[in-house]
Structure 1
């Protein structure tokens, strides 16, 4: 596979939400979205101890097949606004 075809399959998504699960203790839910807010990537992290430190970056490059579709217009607009703010304030690899 050439570098060009790899980049076509990869999509940059930006952090738009960070929440803590109500159902499970020590679960952090990260939501990243595309700049137009139409697609998202949800990641769940389990923190096993207070010393369990893993960086969260402002953006990720992910396989386009891993993205879900945002169906709700209000959520799509909220994600797009959050991406615009994150892009204005941070480089993709900034720890946030």
Structure 2
């Protein structure tokens, strides 16, 4: 299966020390959500390569636009392997 580049567009922490990362494709149409123990968040890169089949579809147009805008900002400021 083909890998697709996805960029970090959202990072949230829960009150239970859970870190949620959302990576999205450049068009904002597909995403991958990862949940990690909060202390592992220091190893977060600006982008990852994801198997196409692991990406979910974004159904909300406003979210698509927000993700696409955040990808544009991230690509302007970071290389894919930058720690963020």
TM-score by length of 1: 0.82
Determine the structure 2 residue equivalent to 1:86: 74
TM-score by length of 2: 0.93
**1:11-63 deviations in whole A, cap 9, x for unaligned?**
000000000125xx11000000000000000000013xx6x564100000010
The structure whose residues are more often strand, as a share, is 2
Say whether 1:28 aligns with 2:19: yes
Structure with larger Rg: 1
**Structure 1: 4+ residue segments shifted above 2 A:** none
Say whether 1:66 aligns with 2:54: yes
How many residue pairs align between the two structures? 84
For structure 2, list consecutive stretches of 5 or more residues without a partner in the other structure.
Answer: none
TM-align CA RMSD = 1.5
